[in-house]
Amino acid sequence: MSWGVTVEAARKQLQEKEWDRWDRLRKHLLNPGAIRISLKPPSGKQALADISRFHQYIRQWQEWHPAGQVEWETRDYHKIGQHRIPVALTLPDLKSLFNALGSEAIQRSQHWETLFKRLLAVNPKLDKVLIRHLRVLESMPEDNIESLARVLPQLKKGMGKGLYPRALPISGIDSKFIEQNTTIIRDFLEVMHSETISDLYQWLECNETPSGWLVIRPLCPKTQAKMMGLAVLKLSTDVLRNTPLPGTHILVVENEQTGFALPALDNTVAVAGGGKNVSWMDADWLKDRRVAYWGDIDTWGLSILSDARSMRPDLVALMMDSKTYEQFLRRTSHESQPAQRMPDNLTPAEQALFSRLLKSKKGKTRLEQEFLDQDYIFRHLAEWKAHT
């Protein structure tokens, strides 16, 4: 309409120009101020041409709450006399905008308020960087926000010296969280430490994570000395089968990255990253070692455990049980193509877990190794070592 913005039209304009456009909304969050829109009051000729609409236009703005947000003027109109008419709507702050738009905007703003409260408790200087990443943060599960709040105070410059990224000594956080949220964490740390951080892992001074083949890691100085002082090396399946590793304990880990998240363990060597390839475990030299296997809790992870146990019946399965699954159930995901056949070499408890995973609803069928808390992992590995 050429004149007389209605209440409905004003809300639509606020929705489209101030709420749906993230650039405008972010600007209001960073630089709070009033939002003013013209209500396009009519001329005398326009009012006279549609006198019913003219009175309706005045009446609906008289019902606006809070009344002080509407700007009024008294005007003399030829033939219809003097009238007090609404000329503009001014919302003094963002809360007024949320209230004007209704329940959806109010609920979203309340969610923002919760995010701000939790993360500003870590450091009150984080407000602007928090707003910059607000769209990503508001889509995060609540557990991830809690993880972010926990991890930020624990990260210190240089703390990863001599460690691989997933071996950072962080409490209450799974080893994959930092990797998945590197950009946000880096930007928050820049504010907290008042310095530019171009690369998070360089700032932490972590070792660069290698890739490829089977990764061999001695987990103590004694075993490392017997491996020419090498902290890590890669071997093919055939070479590993025919090359006895030092130490009394061998820890087999399904995923390569998890192999770099392991703590120090006396007389222990880790073999990581083989995935389904456990064929090397028929090596004769393994008969003289204490062997443990740790993989993902999903149908394929349990199938790999079964394959490994077919070659080493005395191996110990670590953190592949119902107790671990239950404790970290909130971090489970969906296994898109599960194994359908029950593996032959599982214990009754493992068979029950396999069946449960097959029957679980989507989103609860897979618990990856990386999503276990570091302190939980360290404790179970230490217990295995102590009891063997």
Q: What is the CATH number of the domain that holds 249?
A: 3.40.1360.10
Closest C-alpha among 355, 278, 266 to residue 317: 278
8 Å CB contact between 240 and 214 = yes
Of 76, 101, 126, the last residue of a domain is: 101
For 75-102, the pLDDT digits (tens) are: 988 778 889 999 999 999 999 999 999 9
* Number of domains the chain is built from: 3
Same domain, yes or no: 378 and 294: yes
Same domain, yes or no: 245 and 358: yes
Q: Give burial (CB, 10 Å; 0-12/13-18/19+) of 164.
A: buried
8 Å CB contact between 91 and 34 = yes
Same domain, yes or no: 22 and 40: yes
pLDDT at 313: 96
Of 178, 204, 230, the last residue of a domain is: 204
- For strands 81-91 and 35-38, give the pairing: antiparallel
- For strands 290-294 and 316-317, give the pairing: parallel
Same domain, yes or no: 238 and 354: yes
Distance of CA 116 to the CA centre of its chain: 16
Same domain, yes or no: 381 and 295: yes
Average pLDDT, the chain: 94
pLDDT at 1: 62
- Domain assignment of residue 156, given as a range: 104-204
Q: pLDDT category, 111, cuts 50, 70, 90?
A: very high
Is 2 within a domain? no
pLDDT at 56: 93
pLDDT at 211: 61
For the ranges 43-57, 78-92, 183-197, the maximum mean pLDDT occurs at: 183-197
This prediction has a pTM of 0.71
8 Å CB contact between 240 and 280 = yes
Q: Phi/psi of residue 382, each to 5°?
A: -65, -40
Same domain, yes or no: 331 and 250: yes
Q: Phi/psi of residue 233, each to 5°?
A: -150, 170
Mean pLDDT, range 191-198, rounded to an integer: 97
Of 101, 118, 140, the last residue of a domain is: 101
Residue 212 has pLDDT above 90, yes or no: no
Same domain, yes or no: 60 and 197: no
- Classify 140 as helix, strand or coil: coil
Same domain, yes or no: 167 and 69: no
Same domain, yes or no: 165 and 188: yes
Distance CA 153, CA 192 (A): 9
Is 370 within a domain? yes
Mean pLDDT, range 262-276, rounded to an integer: 96
Same domain, yes or no: 180 and 222: no
Same domain, yes or no: 166 and 228: no
Is 209 within a domain? no
Is 380 within a domain? yes
Q: Phi/psi of residue 380, each to 5°?
A: -70, -35
β-partners of residue 290 are 249
pLDDT at 77: 84
For 117-167, the pLDDT digits (tens) are: 999 999 999 999 999 999 999 999 999 999 999 999 999 999 999 999 999
